[in-house]
Amino acid sequence: MARAMFEYTKTVLKKVSFNVELFCKELEKAIKRLLPHEIEELKIWLAEFTANRPELYAYVAVVN
């Protein structure tokens, strides 16, 4: 179940990446429901996903 939530979170974040506010809100929700080791995986995924999307760098404040 937990792994499914992690994959679902990535899908949602990809879909809302057109809007920084939505992206950050969904990220906040994800951090509340994911397990600690999944949050660490999410940080790695976010670094890769936002590498070419500087407008999404606001996520750093949410994750930290």
**What is the per-residue pLDDT across 4-40, written as a single tens digit (0 to 9) for each?**
999 999 999 999 999 999 999 999 999 999 999 999 9
23 half-sphere exposure, CB direction, 13 A CA radius: 20
Check: CB of residue 59 under 8 Å from CB of residue 24.
Answer: yes
Supply the pLDDT for residue 2. 60
Domain of residue 20, residue span:
2-63
| Helical residues (DSSP H) of the chain, grouped into ranges | 2-15, 20-33, 36-49, 59-63
Structural domains of the chain, count: 1
Supply the pLDDT for residue 62. 78
Q: How far apart are CA 16 and CA 30, in angstroms?
A: 13
Supply the pLDDT for residue 7. 95
